[in-house]
Chains A and B, each alone.
Chain A
Amino acid sequence: MMQVVNPVRYQDFSLERATQVVQEFKDQPGALINALHKLQDTFGYVDEAAMPMLAKLFNLSRAEVHGVTSFYHDFRRSKPGTYTVRVCQAEACQAMGSVELTEAIKQQLGVDFHETTADGTFTLERVYCLGNCACAPSIMIDKQTYGRMTADRFKSLAESLSAKAKGSN
């Protein structure tokens, strides 16, 4: 049996709420990335409309804020599915069949990397190393890592997660 994570409920984006949640970083030196994380944790992504507000808050140009947001793989520009599935692509997982596992997961979900399933349940992303290299291959769903993953185990996990997402709607 596997740990079934609870679906994350993101808030709907509003500039007012966004401005509110990042205030705590105002006087911290160099805290733009903290603020971006906070926005993403709150809304599931970093909305374009938040950029001028962040620029003003940290006394930066909008280009700088955009440059930072686009540099880091973590920051998304649109709302993700209920669950974000990250599949490790690094060497240790490859040694344990992650290339085949990745294909199976793509098939199972019917999406490629950076895409979201039609029902809005899963967004698929790649990741390079989850630090679970002795129990490869590994995937991560939201903040939960799963080791020794197989196509079959993923299938049953995805089904449980789907059911849970629908049940809580």
Chain B
Amino acid sequence: MSIRVYVPRETTASSLGAELLVDALTTEAKYRGLDITIVRNGSRGACFLEPLVEVETAQGRVGYGPVQLEDIPDLFDADFLNGGQHRLSLGDVEKLPWFANQERLTFARCGIIAATSVEEYKAHGGFKGLENALAKEPAAIVQEVLDSGLRGRGGAAFPTGIKWQTVANAEADQKYIVCNADEGDSGTFSDRMIMEGDPLSLIEGMTIAGIAVGATKGYIYLRSEYPLTQQILLEAIANAEAAGYLGNNVAGSGKAFTLEVRMGAGAYICGEETSLLESLEGKRGQVRYKPPLPALKGLFGKPTVVNNVISLATVPVILEKGGKHYANFGRGRSLGTMPFQLGGNIKFGGLVEKAFGLTLRQLIEDFGGGTYTGRPVRAVQVGGPLGAYFPASLLDTPLDYEEFAKAGGMLGHGGVVVFDDTVNMARMARFSMEFCAAESCGKCTPCRIGSTRGMETIDRIVAAKNEEEREAQHIILKDLCETMEVASLCAMGGLTPMPVMSAVKHFKGDFQ
């Protein structure tokens, strides 16, 4: 019987040589007269173990990692196809504390199944949510999402169910579901991972959204930096169509829902929902004034649900197990789980899905094992390039929307970027302004001009000859940041002051 060997087809694994392993494993097995089948799963999220090769043995699934090309003959010699011991042996990876201590709802299947296989998806609970949704009235589907307490995982944390309700109540001949897959925030990769590892969960989530609000067409707006993700999504969509889960008669319900993937073109601002809609319409990605809300006048002027990948990919498990089940996780107004992403200078980086409420320290120390360089943690940026920099003294802040806001930061999309003590925070603050200047859509003045003035002001602070001069520039920077914060049209200009001012607040000594 052919032995199943799992090699992730996923960006991180591929960036560390996974594609080379596929060829080498096939060749070596052939040479030794062994019958193997390579299964292309996604990543389980332990990036530090990639490329993680797993084998289905009589004793269960066992892992080896990180595997390099030169390890292959050695692995065969150690009889890894039957679970043989090797320097890279990990045993059952789900028993490793890194995985065992997670609470996976959205990512339950990711890395486990062949990513684009409808059959394996169904064998692991896939399409049960859709089945349940089809048995309900649309309003009851929306109610289930409301009951779950799910808030937009893209960063703004707006209640998903309320957005859906607004679109459901709007009268129109055509409505749309738009998935925001323009994951541009540095330090975030959960959207990519679910789209590469369990794309059918996103497809199912979008279909459920379509049925709930009466939309028959969905678009996935994917950033162009993710070409492998695009291939995998297109394959999954084709498989879902062939199995009757997309098209004019979704799962035999008589309801229609079709999906199209559209590629971005390297503009960070297109992750902002109205700019994204402009871009989907083939225009410059410039932010729109609100109101009107996209829920009422969105894509091509029609009522549109715009949700992040993770929000939509979480919908199937909510409909499968019930909104109340999902709401059992988390605390306060931060309900459910969040796929946190640990990146930057971190020893054990990757994706940690956990109920809201664990502390930043638990995430960085218990899961992450501290910095990659082994030096002390000095600063942590949470929530992408528009999120605050926290000093080590704030590591005990619980990861929850309200707690983070209270501490002067934001959770955003759940990206956590760790820096060691060699970081210069004045340089990072300047970079935030630089990034805003490079990526501003240019529509509003505070963002377009303020970012460049901000860069110049930080340069003057650093170059100041005496304290008096430096303080005078600090006052200008603070004033500028206040203007950007209150007068910008969207979160890009409005939140760029957050990393800048948090750097000034917690690391003022670096600004000289």
Chain B binds chain A: yes
Task: Check if B408 is an interface residue, CB within 8 A of chain A.
Answer: no
Task: Check if A20 is an interface residue, CB within 8 A of chain B.
Answer: no
Cβ-defined partner of B15 (8 Å) among A33, A129, A138: A138
Task: Check if A159 is an interface residue, CB within 8 A of chain B.
Answer: no
Instruction: Identify which of A90, A92, A133, A147 gathers the most chain B CB atoms within 10 Å of its CB.
Output: A92
Task: Check if A42 is an interface residue, CB within 8 A of chain B.
Answer: no
Nearest CB of chain A from residue B152's CB, rounded to whole Å: 19
Chain A 50-94 per-residue mask, 1 if CB under 8 angstroms from chain B, else 0? 000000001000001001100111110000000000000011111
Task: Give the residues in chain A near B225, CB-CB below 8 Å.
Answer: 127, 129-131, 140
Q: Roughly how many angstroms separate A143 CA and B50 CA in the complex, as a whole number?
A: 19
Task: Check if A135 is an interface residue, CB within 8 A of chain B.
Answer: yes
Task: Give the residues in chain A near B300, CB-CB below 8 Å.
Answer: 29-30
Whether B419 and A68, one on each chain, are in contact in the complex, defined by CB atoms closer than 8 angstroms, is no
Whether B183 and A131, one on each chain, are in contact in the complex, defined by CB atoms closer than 8 angstroms, is yes
Given contacts A74-B265, A133-B349, 11 further A-B pairs with CB under 8 A are: A68-B282, A74-B266, A90-B435, A92-B186, A92-B415, A92-B417, A129-B188, A131-B183, A134-B48, A134-B346, A145-B15
Q: Roughly how many angstroms separate A92 CA and B146 CA in the complex, as a whole number?
A: 34
Residue of B with least CB distance to A145: B15
Per the 8 Å Cβ criterion, residues 119-164 of A in contact with B are 127-136, 138, 140, 143-148
Q: Report 12 cross-chain contacts, Cβ distance below 8 Å, ordered by A residue.
A: A2-B20, A32-B282, A37-B263, A72-B285, A92-B417, A130-B225, A131-B11, A133-B344, A133-B415, A136-B345, A143-B227, A145-B228
Cβ-defined partner of A1 (8 Å) among B12, B70, B263: B70
Nearest CB of chain A from residue B154's CB, rounded to whole Å: 15
Task: Check if B187 is an interface residue, CB within 8 A of chain A.
Answer: yes
Q: Roughly how many angstroms separate A106 CA and B3 CA in the complex, as a whole number?
A: 46
Q: Roughly how many angstroms separate A46 CA and B370 CA in the complex, as a whole number?
A: 46
Task: Give the residues in chain A near B280, CB-CB below 8 Å.
Answer: 30
Chain B 327-353 per-residue mask, 1 if CB under 8 angstroms from chain A, else 0? 000000000000001111110011000
Whether B385 and A135, one on each chain, are in contact in the complex, defined by CB atoms closer than 8 angstroms, is no
Task: Check if A23 is an interface residue, CB within 8 A of chain B.
Answer: no
Task: Give the residues in chain B near A129, CB-CB below 8 Å.
Answer: 184-188, 225
Task: Give the residues in chain A near B279, CB-CB below 8 Å.
Answer: 33
Q: When A and B form their complex, which 9 residue pairs have the shortest distance between CB atoms, in order from nearest?
A: A134-B349, A133-B343, A90-B186, A72-B265, A95-B344, A32-B282, A134-B47, A30-B282, A147-B15
Chain B 403-441 per-residue mask, 1 if CB under 8 angstroms from chain A, else 0? 000000000000101111001000010010001001100
Interface size class of A (residues with CB under 8 A): 35 or more
Whether A91 and B281, one on each chain, are in contact in the complex, defined by CB atoms closer than 8 angstroms, is no
Number of interface residues of B (CB under 8 A): 66
Whether A91 and B385, one on each chain, are in contact in the complex, defined by CB atoms closer than 8 angstroms, is yes
Q: Roughly how many angstroms separate A124 CA and B77 CA in the complex, as a whole number?
A: 43
Given contacts A71-B285, A130-B225, are A34 and B186 in contact (CB under 8 A)? no
Task: Check if B268 is an interface residue, CB within 8 A of chain A.
Answer: yes
Task: Check if B94 is an interface residue, CB within 8 A of chain A.
Answer: no
Task: Check if B148 is an interface residue, CB within 8 A of chain A.
Answer: no
Per the 8 Å Cβ criterion, residues 199-236 of B in contact with A are 224-228
Task: Check if B128 is an interface residue, CB within 8 A of chain A.
Answer: no
Task: Check if A3 is an interface residue, CB within 8 A of chain B.
Answer: yes
Whether A92 and B263, one on each chain, are in contact in the complex, defined by CB atoms closer than 8 angstroms, is no
Nearest CB of chain A from residue B438's CB, rounded to whole Å: 8
Task: Check if A21 is an interface residue, CB within 8 A of chain B.
Answer: no
Nearest CB of chain B from residue A99's CB, rounded to whole Å: 8
Chain B 305-347 per-residue mask, 1 if CB under 8 angstroms from chain A, else 0? 0000000000000000000000000000000000001111110
Given contacts A74-B266, A127-B266, A140-B225, are A91 and B187 in contact (CB under 8 A)? yes
Chain B 228-270 per-residue mask, 1 if CB under 8 angstroms from chain A, else 0? 1000000000000000000000000000000000111111100
Q: Roughly how many angstroms separate A34 CA and B265 CA in the complex, as a whole number?
A: 9
Residue of A with least CB distance to B438: A128
Given contacts A30-B300, A68-B284, are A134 and B343 in contact (CB under 8 A)? yes
